[in-house]
Chains A and B, each alone.
Chain A
Amino acid sequence: MFGHRKNQAESLPVTGRVCSLLEIPQGHKFKIVEIKGGPGLHRRLLALGFHRGDLVTLNGEALLGGPVLVKNLNSDTRIALGRGIARKVLVEPADENER
């Protein structure tokens, strides 16, 4: 909810490269490219409705290396992910107008 009011035209760190959920700024649209890690984690995230190709945005972060808050824009759900897990979710910048 924090980067929510940011001007959408604000320039993105468009690098075109794939990075993990831990490395992206809050409030911008990203697309899930890959979920690394074992099948257990993978299935769990699939069941929670986080799939490859879904648009997500970083919604918040807890203090001191706490979890990050990820919003799935396709299904409008939010989950908190521990850092170890967030590191395994790879994303790439998406067009702000895409849905």
Chain B
Amino acid sequence: MNDRVPVVVFIGQPNCGKSTLFNAIAGFKARTSNFPGTTVCHAHSEVAWKGRVYSIVDLPGTYSLTPQEPQEKVVLTHIFQEKPDLIVNVIDASLLCRSLELTVELLELEYPMVVVLNMMDLAEKKGMKIDPVALEKKLGVPVIRTVASRGQGTNDLMDWVEKVLGEQRRPRHLRYSGEVENRIKKLAEMLPADFPVIANPRFTAIRAIEAETLAVDRFFLENNPDFKRDLDRIRQEISALREAPAYEVLSAERHHLALKIFEDCCRVRHARLSGLEKLDSFIMHPVLGLFLLLLIFAGMFYLIFRVGSPLEAWLLKPWEALRLGVQERYGHTLLAELLVGLVQGVGGGVAIVFPYFIPLLLLMGFLEDVGYLARAGFLMDAFMHRLGLHGKSVPLFILGFGCNVPAIMATRILESRRDRIITALLIPFIPCAARTTIILALVAFLLGPWWALGFYFLNLVVVAVLSSVLTRIFKYSSPGLILEIPSLKWPSLKNILQKTYFNLKEFIRFAWPILIAGSLLLSLLSFVNFDRLVNAVLSPFVSGLLGLPSSLGVTLVFGFLRKELSLLMMFQALGVSYQQLLSVISRGQLLTFVTFVNFFIPCLSTLAILWKELGRRIALVSVLLNLSLAVLVSWLVRLAFAIF
């Protein structure tokens, strides 16, 4: 081997524990979950092992090498363009039979390869007895057993990586049945000299036959009519053998190879129903399961209000004191204003991260890790279909009630870009913890709990209506739900902590600096008496259209930074305290204000994440959508109060 850093790629089916294994080897890098398809962009890390450096790449999970979904295309592009030096095929041992279909496909590449049987503990619990020596013999590549969640077997894996790389040992592909194999061979020999051969002629021929209905090689075929004729003939011959499309015949060949290997290498004792499976039948129960889902929802609200809010108040206290101290010491100077802005930006971040972000991320991490999210998607799919979406969006909305930012980040798990965009556009309408604070503080406290409940209901109705409208605009005949339900797992604390850390890091590195910068900018603007200008400019809109005191104009601008700032600044702007509020504005005005703040453009952190995840255009659409809806709904509220 030369001195170049060898590239080792981790490939496996979704949810096989690939990312967990990657993390165990490379440190906290990849996001893991018990929900198929979480690694969408690939993670990459340099790892030193016994004096050598390896470049390790964690590719998104893929069921096969025939690309269908965006994350699967990433895998193919990577394999074909970057030409890895070694493939580590990670297998969920408890799903050995199905996983082997991908393994058979990977062997066809004839790249140096190592197979990892991960989740051995789970397989044993399921009563599976796998003979790794027999498996090694059948596959012709080293088989290593690991339990990545506990870090078992990772050293062994790295030793084998070193060994296989050193020997440049290439596996042989497994043979299909003779009549199919012959036709593949024939096509491989007919490949034109300029055909872009991937890995080897046989693999390329298989790809070409399977690409039947895909557009991948249409361009090439148009310029090679002779080869196209040969290809079509071979496809027809293969298809005639089994009276099925050629791609199905090849897939069935691999399926049978996998079944055969599985039967030769694995014995399954009849496992009794484990405690987890009993629990699972309760979780998936059509009625009880929904009830549990509601309970989990309620639990999350409880967490937000009973833990988050008091904690936030407590955390904000020292920052508030600091702010007052700064103002007292420096008076109304530029330095003071900037310091105040800094304090508010940093303190605001603290007040999001600790009371809401961390508890919610931990809870969501737990739900993800045990495999609950896929189940929630299953239970809620029917409801979501009425709104034109899939059950897969459900967990994201749940997440949005805590904070919109991680919810938008998590839209990565949706395969279709259309679903992802719609979900991301809807999430900013979900009342996050900050907005719930306003609803509670103003509506519930001053008008009564029923008003607050009604407001919440109105909010959900708006989301539902908007969803129906959006899904009609972005028309696309949805093929319906196909979602793998992973087996229920005991949660691993390590996984949950890693995931929380990963999400948190992204928020701190990305959204928080923007929050601080925005806060500083607004301080500067307020120092130059920009607020009066803002009030004057916004006056036709604020007092004319919505019928609110024009001094509230500037609070709306601050609400962009953090929604609760609108609330705090409202008292400041009106010059009254909390209890006296209703003496200066009417109930109608109060509700109009709350409605507007609630629906008004996503806060800065949300907008920043939208921008980063889905691009400028979608972020802009989101702003316009929120603004127009805020104006419309709050105007309707005003109208309703004027009439009744």
Given contacts A44-B68, A69-B284, A77-B98, contact A62 B378 (CB under 8 A): yes
CB–CB A47/B286 < 8 A:
no
Q: Quick check: which of A6-14, A78-86, A90-98 contacts chain B, the rest being far away?
A: A78-86
CB–CB B381/A80 < 8 A:
yes
Of chain A, the residue at the smallest CB distance from B212 is A39
A40 within 8 A of B: yes
Q: Quick check: which of B106-114, B231-239, B244-252, B634-642 contacts chain A, the rest being far away?
A: B244-252
| Cβ–Cβ < 8 Å partners of A41 in chain B | 479, 482
Of chain B, the residue at the smallest CB distance from A51 is B255
Given contacts A48-B63, A82-B480, contact A66 B98 (CB under 8 A): no
Complex Cα distance A77/B95, Å? 7
Shortest CB-to-CB span from B272 to chain A, Å, is 11
B81 within 8 A of A: no
Given contacts A39-B212, A69-B284, A83-B480, contact A47 B383 (CB under 8 A): no
Chain A interface: which size bin? 35 or more
Interface residues of B in 247-305 (CB under 8 A from A): 247-248, 251-252, 255, 259, 273, 277-278, 280-281, 284-287, 290
Complex Cα distance A1/B280, Å? 8
Q: Which one of B95, B278, B287, B482 lies within 8 Å of A82 (CB-CB)?
A: B482
Interface residues of B in 525-549 (CB under 8 A from A): none
Complex Cα distance A82/B483, Å? 9
Q: Which one of A47, A61, A63, A84 lies within 8 Å of B480 (CB-CB)?
A: A84
Shortest CB-to-CB span from A93 to chain B, Å, is 21
Of chain B, the residue at the smallest CB distance from A48 is B63
Complex Cα distance A66/B280, Å? 18
B213 within 8 A of A: yes
Q: Residue among A2, A64, A65, A72 with the most chain B CB within 10 A?
A: A64
| Cβ–Cβ < 8 Å partners of B68 in chain A | 40, 43-44, 47
Complex Cα distance A42/B479, Å? 11
B126 within 8 A of A: yes
A67 within 8 A of B: yes
Complex Cα distance A66/B483, Å? 13
CB–CB B101/A1 < 8 A:
no
Complex Cα distance A13/B245, Å? 32
CB–CB B285/A66 < 8 A:
no
CB–CB B95/A66 < 8 A:
no
| Cβ–Cβ < 8 Å partners of A77 in chain B | 95, 98, 484
A4 within 8 A of B: yes
CB–CB B95/A75 < 8 A:
yes
B88 within 8 A of A: no
Of chain B, the residue at the smallest CB distance from A78 is B485
Of chain A, the residue at the smallest CB distance from B287 is A63
CB–CB B255/A63 < 8 A:
no
| Cβ–Cβ < 8 Å partners of B479 in chain A | 40-41, 82, 84-85
CB–CB A2/B482 < 8 A:
no
Q: Which one of A4, A63, A83 lies within 8 Å of B290 (CB-CB)?
A: A63
| Cβ–Cβ < 8 Å partners of A76 in chain B | 94-95, 97-98, 126
A45 within 8 A of B: yes
| Cβ–Cβ < 8 Å partners of A80 in chain B | 374, 377-378, 381, 391, 481-485
* Cβ contacts A to B, 22 pairs, < 8 Å: A2-B285, A42-B245, A46-B255, A49-B101, A52-B248, A59-B284, A61-B286, A62-B380, A62-B381, A63-B379, A63-B382, A64-B383, A66-B380, A69-B485, A72-B98, A74-B97, A74-B259, A79-B482, A82-B385, A82-B481, A82-B482, A83-B480
A binding-site residues for B, Cβ under 8 Å: 1-2, 4, 39-49, 51-52, 59-67, 69, 72, 74-85
